[in-house]
Amino acid sequence: MFTAPTALRAIRREDGQHKFFTERGERDGLRSLRALFLAGERSEPAVVNDYTKLLQKYGAPGAAVVDNWWSSESGSPMTGLAQLPSSCHGGNGKQTKPLDTRPGSAGKPMPGFDIRVVDDDGNEVPRGKTGNIVLGMPLAPTGFTTLWKDEKRFYNGYMLRFEGKWLDTGDAGIIDKDGYVHIHGRSDDMINVAAHRLSTATLEQAISSHPAITDNCVIPAPDPLKGHVPFAFVALSLHSRCNPRKRTTLRHQHACQSSCWPHCYTGRSDHSTRSHSSHKKWKDSTQSAEANGRRRERRQL
């Protein structure tokens, strides 16, 4: 089965206890499901972990959640995890075991793609350090080689930034010590907080680990001291047992409950639209929190 993480988050919001999935699983209606492939956007570990447990319990033997990363330009997945491999080692008839799923990672580079992580000057960074994700040339046979009748635009859009040495994917992330690729988001989805560059995707990943939150979007909010601070819009599960008072507190601590925000056609949160349109909401929310705080102080007096 192939789907986008947004679909799983939507299901999680409506059915946080996975009752429908469990009911079908208890009737052995999912025993033929061997893999759940995710693509189109970054997958949070919380979502991957939830469905990995469900597949292991109700799916086919060895069923797994497989995230992968690719683009229109690559023509095929650039990272992923192969399932049910047919190769054997040393002619002893022993089948190769598929690589383990690593929540938060999009897998390992696929054959033909030379994936590197570099700094803004094009120099490779150590394993585990965040940087720009680029591709070494040439690309795999499925990759594009130019833009139709527009070589100049192809070079300016993909090669110019690193002077032809690397192809710029526009994404940021890391390659961990075991070679798994982690996509943190677009290179421009970074927040500068007191001279520290924070990834909105990493913050969203941490926020989504809370069982009451099904989706969220982090944007930079103006701050007179730090320049910007992260501000999160969150969507809570309809079946959340979160205390109403805690929900109010959540909204007042640089977070705002929201059931709808701009999304791209793939389902991803549209950070650019949200950033431009949300400063007023952030200001209104902050002013509301301050007013509520003053009212509480008056009641205490």
The CATH superfamily of 190-300 is ANL, C-terminal domain (3.30.300.30)
Better-predicted residue by pLDDT, 95 or 75: 75
pLDDT tens-digit map of 106-165: 999 999 999 999 999 999 999 999 899 999 999 999 999 899 999 999 999 999 999 999
Residue range(s) of every CATH 2.30.38.10 domain in the chain:
107-184
pLDDT in the model for residue 178: 94
Residue 77: band (very low, low, confident or very high) from pLDDT cuts 50, 70, 90: very high
Q: How far is CA 90 from the centre of its chain?
A: 38
* Every domain range in the chain assigned CATH 3.30.300.30: 190-300
pTM, full prediction: 0.67
Answer yes or no: CATH 2.30.38.10 is held by domain 107-184: yes
pLDDT band at 261 (very low <50, low <70, confident <90, very high): very low
Give every CB contact of residue 288 below 8 A, 6+ residues apart in sequence.
252
**Of 261 and 193, more confident:** 193
Q: Lowest-confidence range among 39-53, 64-78, 147-161?
A: 39-53
pLDDT in the model for residue 297: 52
Q: Is the peptide bond before 138 cis (omega within 30 degrees of 0)?
A: yes
**Residue 88 above 50 pLDDT?**
no
Would you state the pLDDT for residue 180?
95
**Which of the four pLDDT bands, split at 50, 70 and 90, describes residue 101?**
confident
3-state helix, strand, coil in the chain (%, to 5): 30, 25, 45
pLDDT score, position 252: 46
* pLDDT reported for residue 259: 46
193-252 pLDDT, tens digit per residue, is 876 777 777 787 778 778 778 778 888 888 877 778 888 888 877 766 655 555 545 544
Least confidently predicted of 4-8, 21-25, 198-202: 198-202
d(CA 281, CA 279): 5
Residue 264 pLDDT greater than 60, yes or no: no
Q: Which of 83, 4, 89 is CA-nearest to residue 40?
A: 4
CB 74 within 8 A of CB 142: yes
Contacts 24+ apart (CB under 8 A), 218-223: 218/191, 219/191, 219/271, 219/274, 219/275, 219/278, 219/282, 220/191, 220/192, 220/275, 221/254, 221/278, 221/279, 221/282, 222/279, 222/282, 223/193
Mean pLDDT score of the chain: 78
Looking at residue 54, its pLDDT comes to 93
Of the segments 55-69, 78-92, 225-239, which one has the largest average pLDDT value? 55-69
